[in-house]
Amino acid sequence: MLGYILRRILYAVPILIGVNLITFMLFFMINTPDDMARAQLGAKQVTPQMIEAWKAEKGYDKPLFLNSKASGIEKVSDTLFMQESLKLFAFDFGFSDANRDIGSDIKERMGPSLAIALPTFFIALITNISLALLLVLFRGSVLDMSMMVIAVMIMSISGLFYIIAGQVLFSKIWHWVPISGYEPGWSAVKFVILPVIIGVFAGMGAGVRWYRSIFLEQINQDYVRTARAKGLSEISVLFKHVLKNGMLPILTGVVVVIPSLFMGSLIMESFFGIPGLGSYTIDAINSQDFAIVKAMVFLGSVLYIIGLILTDISYTLFDPRVKLS
Amino acid sequence: MSLTLLWTDMMVWILIVALLAWGWVVSRSPQVKKQWHTIFRSPVAMASAIVLIFYLFFTLLDSVHMRFHVENGSVKSSASEHVQYRGEMVSLLDLLFSHTIEKTERTYSAPFATHEYTKSIVVDENDVTRQEYLPLKHVKVSKGESERRDILQRSLTATMLGLCVSLLFVFLHIALNGKGTFGEKVRRVWYGETELPWRTAYLAFTLLLVTFVWMYMLSHHYHVLGTDKVGGDVFYQSLKSIRTGVLIGILTTLVMLPVSIVLGISAGFFGGWIDDVIQYIYTTLNSIPGVLLIAGAVLVMQVMMDNNPQWFETTLERSDLRLLFLILILGMTSWTGLCRLLRAETLKISQVEFVTAAKAFGVSKWKIIFRHIMPNLMHIILISVVLDFSALVLAEAVLSYVGVGVDPTMYSWGNMINQARLEMAREPMVWWSLFSAFIFMFILVLAANLLSDRIQKVLDPRSRS
């Protein structure tokens, strides 16, 4: 088990290098450091000296991949790519182009992101699974059919509409919650509740359908027939057998969502003015702050890979047949 | 006048030709034909298909661009004025709606309104300043009629016309389709005794056509869906947005398909280091959060386009190139899922007896891929294409909202929603832009979802149990 996890972590290293390479190429091969300097300094009254000075200050004045001036190992190591990437592996995100400490920014903004993401995640998981079980219990009935129709409709509406409609109804017309903003501590609840409800509702259509299809696939299997033949009630068949055996596909779908929990929801946070990582990223994208975007991409990939490893580990917990080797 | 093809126009027409060719191939294979027959035996699938064809029709109408010479005397003055204004390029849809483009109001007005939505300060002949709702410049209520009666009368005429036109098409189709006398065929359709649910199809078609004719006829006299901040007609904007949404939905899959098919099959079939490399590439791409990758790529592209203004002559070309880039980027970030599926399926098929037999007979690898593996992957490809379509239409709106989607000058539902965000904060609320974007988008995505559901149900062997 431990050896397996270790191997998986080692396997993650080339992937993370690849991720770095892609983001690096994306930003520096097409968009040269000169362009970035111009964008940061304001395009109009920039002199070549100012650009050079800016690049030297940010450390963007090195060659991209191969330093022909240096000798030995420095030929490769004293380049922009190595300088920028190596630090990331130590989770040293450095400073943003606007001279803020990215690491502490991320720490600060993780809380608000999680305050929205965690409740949304768990409430959605529980409601979707219980609704799906309910539908499977009444499969083929009018309830099942009409819920499926509603689910397709919920899926067909863009998330943006839920947010706008929610804000108009609950904040503007009924004045139940503030339109946007955030406060730390318990008073966050009144800012967080609406985004959470909207998040749960918007994902409900796809979620319920997905879980329902998983359970329906299970219910046609032999073990369910055996359980019924033993005289178990339909409800205990569903909860004791079907739910347990459906856990594997559920886990696969669920764990992959974990990185987006930390990253926050880009749209939700910017709409509700919540100072989380999602709005942080959007702001960085808009101000072309490469350092922040790079840090967020790296962080996102790390979390995704952790999520994948966790999936595999959790498989063994739910299905003893799966052996990690 | 000369026809001008934008990049995306070209892609869309190539796609149409490819689809027609594919349809011809399908019609020759009885097995596949039967599968499609099964798909459309469901009335819901039939109605959805009609809706999608309607949207596609508007996309195509908006994908024929032309230029008018300003000095050309034979062109109507309205069109040439519009040409100067819009950077010299118009589509067939623009020509059809030249009356709404030309007749812009001053500011917001509600659907079917005769007056502006907000009060303006007016100084009358006695030098008294008053605040009042100004009448709209281009709303023409017939003389001696109340507004409501006028709308009613025009609606009646428009509906009758729409009905006549759609009945004409329906009867023409009945006459050309199937065997037997005309009366017999009409009777069978009426009682729903046809093999395919033609009754539903005709009903959906009539409904859509009548609604469109009604809105189009009334758009000559009213702003059916109101006007936006600068007085532009919202109905026209919503129709223009169709092209953006549909194009992103279909062209992105077109871009991504070859990549995922080639890489997926190679990984599964050849194995070894090829498999390792391909797996590495898609795991790496997959582990980058999608929105970030797209946003980063769009940003880079934006800078590149700013640095090369010589690439495009008109603003339309510029926004078109941006759309093309967006499609490419979305395609490049979304091929991984299908690729992984195809790899797994190819691995499975490669172990099946008929492939082993083919290998034993010394059939070349390429022949095995084209004769045995590809046909057995078609259903997965088709299912993933139809499933992706609606997701991409929705993604367009979100990306445009974040500011990394289509060009802000381009009509798109995302841009409409983005604008509506400020309008909702107004007092009183301006709701019609958002409402129109919502309705147009909802109908498209719903139809796509319903059809893809049906296709998945029929083609996916797993869902048959």
- The pLDDT score that the predictor gives to residue B465 is 43
Q: Measured between CB atoms, which of B296, B421, B434 is closest to A26?
A: B296
- Of the candidates A19, A160, A301, the beta carbon closest to that of B398 is on A160
Order of strands across the sheet that contains B65-67: B2-4, B65-67, B90-91
Q: Tens digits of per-residue pLDDT, A140-178? A: 899 999 999 999 999 999 888 898 889 888 888 888 888
Q: Given CB atoms, is A9 within the 8 Å cutoff of chain B?
A: no
pLDDT at B273 over 80: yes
Q: How far is B289 from chain A (nearest CA, A)?
A: 6
Band the pLDDT of B398: cuts 50, 70, 90. confident
pLDDT higher than 70, residue A220: yes
Q: Pick from A22, A213, A267: which is nearest to B398 by CB?
A: A267
Same domain, A248 and A177: yes
* A139 pLDDT more than 70: yes
Q: Are A75 and A154 contained in the same domain?
A: no
Q: Report how far residue A187's alpha carbon sits from residue A68's, in angstroms, rounded to the nearest whole number.
A: 57
Q: Has residue A54 been placed in a domain?
A: no
- Same-domain pairing of A80 and A166: no
pLDDT the model gives residue B448: 94
Which is it for strands B90-91 and B65-67: parallel, antiparallel or unpaired? Answer: antiparallel
pLDDT in tens, B346-382: 998 888 888 888 888 888 888 888 888 888 888 888 8
Q: What is the pLDDT of residue A76?
A: 66
Q: Kindly state whether residue A242 falls inside one of the protein's structural domains.
A: yes
Which pLDDT band holds residue B75 (cuts at 50, 70, 90)?
Answer: very low
Residue B151's pLDDT band, with cuts at 50, 70 and 90, is: confident
Grade residue A42 by pLDDT with cuts at 50, 70 and 90. Answer: low
CB contacts under 8 A, A 238-267 vs B, are 259-260, 263, 266-267
The pLDDT-based confidence of B236 (bands split at 50, 70, 90) is very high
Q: Which of A25-29, A33-37, A126-130, B292-296 has the highest mean pLDDT?
A: A126-130
| Whether residues A161 and A226 fall in one domain | yes
Residue B364: the pLDDT is 87
- Which residue out of B52, B286, B288, B306 would a mutagenesis test of the A interface target, given it has the greatest number of A Cβ atoms within 10 Å? B288
ipTM above 0.90, yes or no: no
Cβ–Cβ gap A282/B288 under 8 Å: no
CATH of domain B233-463: 1.10.3720.10
pLDDT digits (tens, 9 = 90+) for B285-310: 888 877 778 877 887 787 778 777 78
Is A26's CB within 8 Å of B307's CB?
no
Chain center to CA of B336: 24
Q: Is the pLDDT of residue B86 over 50?
A: no
A39 falls in which pLDDT band (50, 70, 90)?
Answer: low
What mean pLDDT comes out for the span B62-66?
Answer: 89
Q: Which residues, listed in sequence order, are joined to residue B56 by a DSSP beta bridge?
A: none
**Looking at the complex, does the CB of residue A14 fall below 8 Å from at least one CB of chain B?**
yes
A286 versus A306: the higher-pLDDT residue is A306
Q: Where are the domains of chain B?
A: 147-218, 233-463
Helix (H, G, I), strand (E, B) or coil at A100: coil
Has residue B419 got a pLDDT over 70? yes
Beta strands B65-67 and B120-123, pairing class? unpaired
pLDDT score for A87: 75
Give CA–CA dist B85/B81, Å, rounded.
6
- A113 & A249 share domain: yes
Percentage of chain A exceeding pLDDT 70: 86
Q: Is the pLDDT of residue B179 over 70?
A: yes
Helices B234-270 & B7-28 angle (0-180, nearest 10): 60
Q: Do B289 and A168 touch (CB under 8 A)?
A: no
CATH number at residue A211: 1.10.3720.10
pLDDT tens for A169-218 read 888 888 888 888 888 878 888 888 999 999 999 989 989 998 998 888 88
* C-alpha to C-alpha distance for B136 and B115, rounded to whole angstroms: 5
Q: What is the pLDDT of residues A55-74, one digit of tens each?
A: 777 666 666 666 667 666 66
Find out whether the peptide bond into B111 is cis, omega within 30 degrees of 0.
no
Instruction: Check if A229 contacts B (Cβ < 8 Å).
Output: no
Same domain, A116 and A148: yes
From the list B402, B425, B465, the residue facing A282 with the nearest CB is B402
> How much is the pLDDT for A231?
86
What pLDDT, on the 0 to 100 scale, is given for residue B121?
Answer: 85
What's this model's pTM, rounded to 2 decimal places? 0.88
The pLDDT mean for chain B works out to 85
pLDDT at A30: 62
Q: How confident is the model at residue B418 (pLDDT cuts 50, 70, 90)?
A: confident
CB contact under 8 A, A304 and B287: yes
Q: Is residue A4 part of a domain?
A: no
Going by pLDDT thresholds of 50, 70 and 90, the confidence category of residue B40 is very high
In a domain, A261, yes or no: yes
Q: For residues A150 and A219, state if they share a domain.
A: yes
Mean pLDDT computed over every residue of chain A: 82
Share of chain B above pLDDT 70, in %: 95
Q: Residue A262: its pLDDT value, please?
A: 67
Bridge partners of B123, per DSSP, are B129
Range from A44-53, A295-304, B443-452 carrying the lowest mean pLDDT: A44-53
What chain B residue is nearest to A164 in terms of C-alpha separation?
B421
Q: Classify A257 as helix, strand or coil.
A: coil
Q: Residue A323 pLDDT > 70, yes or no? A: no
Confidence grade of residue A324 (pLDDT, cut at 50, 70, 90): low
Distance from CA of A97 to the nearest CA of B (A): 16
- Is A218 found in the same domain as A76? no
In terms of pLDDT, which residue wins out, A258 or B224? B224
Select the more confidently predicted residue: A92 or B323. B323
Beta-carbon separation of B417 and A161 below 8 A = yes
Mean pLDDT, residues B319-342: 89
Give mean pLDDT, residues B38-45. 91
- Per the structure, how many domains does chain A have? 2
At residue B439 the predicted structure's pLDDT band, cuts being 50, 70 and 90, is: very high
Which residues neighbour A260 within 8 Å (Cβ) at sequence distance 6 or greater?
A: A117, B289
pLDDT exceeds cutoff 60 at B76? no
| Chain A residues closer than 8 Å to B292 by CB | 281, 293, 296-297, 300
Nearest-Cα distance to chain A for B295, in Å, is 7
pLDDT recorded at residue A246: 83
> A159 CB near a chain B CB, below 8 Å?
yes
Per-residue pLDDT, averaged over A9-14, amounts to 86
Residue that wins the pLDDT comparison between A85 and B153? B153
Q: Which of B136-145, B225-234, B306-315 tops mean pLDDT?
A: B225-234
B399 interfacial to chain A (CB closer than 8 Å): no
Residue A84 domain-assigned (yes or no): yes
B291 and chain A in contact, CB less than 8 A: yes
Q: Examine the domain organization and report whether A141 and A248 are in the same domain.
A: yes
For range B89-103, the mean pLDDT? 85
Closest chain A residue to B389, measured at CA: A156
User: Does residue B73 register a pLDDT over 50?
Assistant: no
pLDDT of residue B84: 47
As a whole number, mean pLDDT of residues B54-72 equals 84
Q: Which domain holds residue A130?
A: 109-281
End-to-end CA separation in angstroms for chain B: 58
Residue of A nearest to B307 (CA): A35
Lowest-confidence segment of A90-99, B197-206, B245-254 by average pLDDT: A90-99
Residues A67 and A180 in one domain: no
What does the pLDDT average to over A14-33?
A: 78
Contact A8, A16 (CB under 8 A): no
List, for residues A69-126, the tens digit of each pLDDT value.
766 666 666 677 777 777 777 777 777 777 788 888 888 888 888 888 889 999 999 9
What is the model's pLDDT at position B80? Answer: 46
